[in-house]
Amino acid sequence: MERRPLIAGNWKMHLNVADSVSLAAAVAAGSRDLGDRDVMIAPAFTALAAVAEVLKGSSVFLAAQNVAWEREGAYTGEISPAMLMDVGASMAIIGHSERRHIFGEDNEMVNRRLLGALNSGLVPILCVGETLDEREEGETFKVLEQQVCEGLEGVPGDRLPSLVLAYEPVWAIGTGKTASREQAQEAHSFIRDVLADLYEKNLAGQVRILYGGSVKPENVDALMAEPDIDGALVGGAALKAESFDRIMHFS
């Protein structure tokens, strides 16, 4: 099963509008020669509209870092899928570990966000991953299974291939400590098995599963060589044009 690689930059709460626009312009220019893979960036909400302008005419996808589940209403501080699409976003990161662990989002809320995005036509990137304690207690697979099953509750099989998943071990995010390619591959293949059990093997084989957690120019090639790693969700190294460019050009 051929899956088109996706290299995604998660800018988190960094960069003002002007800096976002120049980084986005560099990504758009750098990705012009990449015909065999997808590239996505997720700026802060405040920069989405300006970045969308810069990306016009490029093939770089624009994503939000989170999304509400309702179309509109009394939800102070939230942004709806329709609003994101209105400014040019086509994807949304959902259930990032920082949302789960700093802001208390649980699987049920993550699932609502995911269904809201999917039903509005935004491509969700569902993030899952275990903490260091969970890994050390031997609970990695249990946690991943629960996050995948509860996160995808109510998603019909025919929608599955349009979703993206991201395996991001919490202990590897922003720590400089990357999962080894074997650890990452093991988790990715486990997640694909969970999808095959929930749906069917053929559908599970079409879903892109990204790895995230200290992806850098130095480790991207090895990670991408693993059979079930279909891309990268990059935080720190996505904030510098040069390092993200090298990651986009993984071989």
Residue (199 or 235) nearer to ligand PGA, CB = 235
CB-neighbour burial class of residue 52 (10 A; exposed 0-12, middle 13-18, buried 19+): middle
Please report where in the chains the tokens 């922003």 appear, as a residue: 174
Number of helices (H) and strands (E) in the chain: give both, helices first: 11, 8
Shortest distance, position 238 Cβ to ligand PGA, whole Å: 7
What residues are annotated to the active site? 96, 168
Task: Select the residue whose beta carbon is closest to ligand PGA and give its number.
Answer: 235
Shortest distance, position 126 Cβ to ligand PGA, whole Å: 13
Residue type, 25: A
Shortest distance, position 191 Cβ to ligand PGA, whole Å: 16
Could you list the beta-strand ranges (E) of the chain. 6-10, 38-42, 61-64, 91-94, 123-128, 164-167, 208-212, 231-234
Residue (43 or 213) nearer to ligand PGA, CB = 213
Residue type, 113: R
Q: Give the contacts of 151 (CB within 8 A, at least 6 positions apart).
A: 94, 95, 107, 110, 111, 114, 126, 128
Shortest distance, position 174 Cβ to ligand PGA, whole Å: 4
Residue (48 or 233) nearer to ligand PGA, CB = 233
Query: 92 forms bridges with which residues in the sheet?
Result: 64, 124
Residue (144 or 233) nearer to ligand PGA, CB = 233
| Cβ atoms of 30 and 245 closer than 8 Å | yes
Nearest-angstrom CA–CA distance, 136 and 166: 21
Residue (195 or 234) nearer to ligand PGA, CB = 234
Return residues touching ligand PGA (CB under 6 A). Answer: 10, 168, 173-174, 212-215, 233-237
Shortest distance, position 202 Cβ to ligand PGA, whole Å: 29
β-pairing verdict for 6-10 and 208-212: unpaired
